[in-house]
Amino acid sequence: MTEPTPVQVDKPVVSQVSDVTTPGMAVGIDGTYEAGLELKARSQWSYARNRFLRHRLAMSGLIVLVIVFGAGIFANLVAPYSFEEIDLTNVLAGPTTAAHHFFGTDEIGRDFFSRVIFGIRTSMEVGVFVAFVSSIIGVIVGAVAGYYGGWIDNILMRITDLVLTLPALAILLTAAALLGQGSQWRVSVILALFFWTGLARIVRGVFLSLREKEYVEAAKAAGSGDIRIMFRHILPNTLGPIVVNGTLSVGAAIIVEAALSFLGFGIKPPTPSLGSLIASGQQFPQKWWITVFPGLTLLIIVVAINFVGDGLRDALDPQQRRVRA
């Protein structure tokens, strides 16, 4: 792995400029100011932001994601019906704009568009929660293993290997079936407990190389404790990989949750989940909209997240010039 760029936290370069005491230089700067030209301080982050804003695929992914997730967040306002409103006179109707049944209705006449919108909300909540919690676990495990090394590192990395060699989907299914009880939050916690391994390895790698740096030594000499060095001095340098990994794991968690719900061991009705909505389509092979719309929504969400993740990688980790695949 290439050594990641040390990312400076928003420290305006201006302060350095004003420190300049050479008269000649100062005149030059004053001259610039007098000519009405503003000196613009550009931090590492603003470079990253510019790289990201210029990344076309990532930006289109982000726009799609904002629209889809926005619909999920404001599901109450966007959805024309509630997700449990039954209309037995209008069962399994095809997509139409007439009664705002854009995605048709299901087998007991519930508006499928509204159900998909509320399903997006569920998926989104699960994805963001899993990414957030698993990132915290991954960062702590990786930081402790990489910083202390030795037997702590050995044990933590063996545990990581262990989780990676398990048959992931089968274990998750078992855990969700026996401990999940169909609750959204229980399923999310179970997923989070399986999603931290990749990030833990990345963070550990960065910590292993950075703990030998001079600034860590300086911090130690100044009397900083281990916790302060780990989270104050080293952690900001691993922020790039953490953000990229976290973004991509939102998508992965959404897919796995959908797979669990599809097989009937994830989130249980009445909470609509994209996975269980797709599963209901299997009973009606000729009513294509029940399978196609929730699946398409799922696919669009995950593709958009992957685009954003790739863009973030290119923006935050410019040294890691991987071949675009």
Per CB under 8 A, residues contacting another protein are 161-162, 165-171, 173-175, 177-179, 251, 255, 258-259, 262-265, 275, 278-279, 281-282, 285-286, 288, 291-292, 295, 298-299, 302-303, 306, 322-325
What single-letter DSSP state applies at residue 178? I
* Least distance between another protein and beta carbon 115 (Å): 16
Residues 169 and 210 sit within 8 Å (Cβ to Cβ): no
Question: How far are the Cα atoms of 16, 144, 275 from residue 293, in angstroms, in the given order?
Answer: 55, 44, 11
Residues 261 and 275 sit within 8 Å (Cβ to Cβ): yes
Q: Closer to another protein by CB, 170 or 222: give it.
A: 170
Question: How far are the Cα atoms of 72, 112, 184, 288 from residue 294, in angstroms, in the given order?
Answer: 13, 9, 18, 11
Could you tell me if residue 182 is left (phi over 0), alpha (psi between -120 and 50 degrees) or otherwise beta?
Answer: left
* Least distance between another protein and beta carbon 179 (Å): 6
Residue partners of 229: CB distance under 8 A and separation at least 6 = 147, 216, 219, 220
Rounded Cα–Cα distance for residues 185 and 214 (Å): 43
Q: Which two tokens stand for residue 9?
A: 């936290």
Question: How far are the Cα atoms of 142, 184, 257 from residue 188, in angstroms, in the given order?
Answer: 21, 6, 8
Q: How many CB atoms lie within 10 A of CB 136?
A: 15
Residues 118 and 83 sit within 8 Å (Cβ to Cβ): yes
Backbone angles phi, psi at 232, to 5 degrees: -95, -40
